[in-house]
């Protein structure tokens, strides 16, 4: 069996919901021992099942995905004894992940200053809506709030329609990814200096970062069209990838040049729609590469209406055949069930099967990225509440089973 890249790293994951657990999941995928710490009797809010179905037995599938490969314990951090136990775990750990509102860890007596005094090598990853400082630091925020406040929602959708939320909790995934990046960077720094540090991740920062192309242009030019919704077009880049509808689904097309578009116009009987001198256009200076692309775009725009009319009663297969005859790439808009049957998706193990003690066999997304010498892997789904209490408290911390039972009785764990 291949080595695990993070095999000697221990992580205390006290995060809940989505973003923080994503950071813990990514570390666990690469071999870190990630200990998921939850409230006794209640657990992570993400455990509450939103979808009910036969065989799920009250489990939340998202929790099982976000907390895969982790060990699960219960511990009341508000209880003084629980706090002391957590401190003991910090002494023998490398990373702490939390995503409470800024100031909450300090109120628990578990802020970074306290943890770094206990263990100067500790790395604390704090993920919050707006970061650890700034006028909005204490505001709570979830994915739809940040999508709206960051500007992401304002540039998503078509200009004639209201702003649209991206169809996945992208904000939380971004926060989790940047948490992982911060943790790994801090680990590298610690390897050089022996010092831990505090990683501050803001969901707002992470999301506005993805708007960098828009922001840099608008900051320089202040032109309104630079912050407008443009639907399926690539903003500011002459795009030849519009979306069309066949009888059985959506697809886009990608034309490689004006010759293929003219060929397509000929096939669908729309040559009369073209009013551009193509030969003159070919003489334009090629050191400005956009000029050729812009000519192709104009040609495509001129046959857009007749092409849509021609394709409206065609099947996807018929549309593909027509476009390929013209030398134009056909790109279907796939549904998730189609994606999961895609040979490339399967070849890269992007849907893996694990065994859950209640549900049985369960399929969840695979590992990204793929490492050649120390590949990550999915071994277990998210743990049952307190599943590894005995392993951690008795095995790692050295409590007796009688002491463990007493802690349970007093609801410390």
Distances (CA, A) of 204 to 275, 345, 382: 47, 31, 27
pLDDT of residue 257: 75
Q: What are the φ and ψ backbone dihedral angles of 296, each rounded to 5 degrees?
A: -60, -40
Count CB neighbours of 324 within 10 A.
11
**Domain at 10-210+342-409, CATH class:** alpha beta
- Which position among 29, 143, 172, 200 bears the catalytic label? 172
Are 43 and 67 within 8 A, CB to CB? no
Pinpoint the residues of the chain covered by CATH 3.40.50.10540.
10-210+342-409
Query: Rounded to whole angstroms, how far apart are CA atoms 278 and 262?
Result: 9
Helix (H, G, I), strand (E, B) or coil at 367: coil
Active-site annotation holds for 294: no
pTM: 0.89
- Other CB atoms closer than 10 Å to residue 246's CB: what's the count? 19
Strand partners, 127: 201
Token representation of residue 350: 């992007």
pLDDT confidence of residue 235: 60
For the chain, residues with pLDDT lower than 70 are: 1, 234-241, 256, 276-294
Give the pLDDT score at 1: 66
**Cβ neighbour number for residue 348 with a 10 Å cutoff:** 13
What pLDDT does 280 receive? 45
Say what the pLDDT of residue 294 is: 63
Question: Domain spanning 243-334 has what CATH number?
Answer: 3.30.1540
Q: Supply the pLDDT for residue 236.
A: 58
Instruction: Return residue ranges of the chain for CATH 3.30.1540.
Output: 243-334
């Amino acid at each position: 069996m291949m080595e695990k890249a993070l095999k000697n790293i221990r992580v205390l994951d006290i995060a809940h919901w989505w973003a923080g657990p994503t950071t813990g999941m990514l570390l666990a995928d690469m071999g870190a021992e990630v200990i998921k710490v939850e409230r006794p009797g209640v657990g992570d809010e993400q455990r509450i099942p939103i979808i009910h179905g036969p065989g799920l037995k009250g489990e939340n599938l998202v929790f099982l995905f976000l907390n895969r490969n982790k060990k699960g314990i219960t511990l009341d951090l508000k209880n003084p004894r629980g706090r002391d136990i957590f401190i003991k775990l910090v002494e023998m750990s490398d990373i702490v992940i939390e995503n409470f509102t800024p100031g909450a860890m300090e109120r628990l007596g578990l802020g970074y200053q306290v943890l770094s005094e206990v263990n100067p090598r500790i790395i604390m990853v704090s993920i919050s809506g707006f970061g650890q400082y700034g006028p909005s630091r204490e505001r709570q925020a979830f994915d739809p709030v940040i999508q709206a406040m960051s500007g992401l929602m304002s540039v998503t959708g078509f200009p004639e329609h209201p702003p649209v939320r991206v169809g996945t909790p992208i904000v939380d995934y971004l926060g989790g990814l940047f948490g992982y990046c911060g943790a790994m960077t801090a680990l590298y720094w610690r390897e050089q200096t022996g010092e831990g540090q505090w990683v501050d991740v803001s969901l707002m920062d992470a999301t506005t970062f993805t708007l960098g192309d828009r922001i840099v242009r608008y900051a320089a030019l202040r032109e309104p069209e630079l912050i407008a919704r443009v639907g399926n077009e690539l903003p500011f880049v002459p795009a030849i990838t519009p979306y069309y509808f066949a009888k059985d689904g959506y697809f886009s097309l990608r034309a490689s040049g004006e010759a293929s578009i003219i060929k397509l116009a000929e096939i669908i009987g729309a040559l009369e729609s073209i009013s551009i001198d193509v030969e003159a256009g070919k003489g334009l200076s090629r050191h400005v590469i956009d000029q050729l692309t812009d000519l192709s775009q104009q040609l495509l725009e001129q046959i857009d209406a007749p092409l849509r009319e021609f394709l409206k009663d065609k099947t996807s297969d018929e549309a593909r055949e027509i476009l390929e005859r013209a030398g134009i790439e056909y790109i279907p808009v796939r549904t998730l069930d189609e994606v999961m049957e895609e040979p490339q998706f399967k070849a890269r193990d992007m849907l893996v099967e694990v065994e859950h003690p209640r549900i049985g066999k369960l399929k969840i997304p695979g590992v990204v990225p793929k490492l050649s010498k120390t590949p990550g892997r999915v071994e277990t789904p998210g743990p049952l509440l307190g599943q590894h209490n005995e392993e951690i408290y008795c095995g790692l911390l050295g409590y007796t089973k009688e002491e463990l039972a007493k802690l349970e009785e007093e609801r410390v764990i």
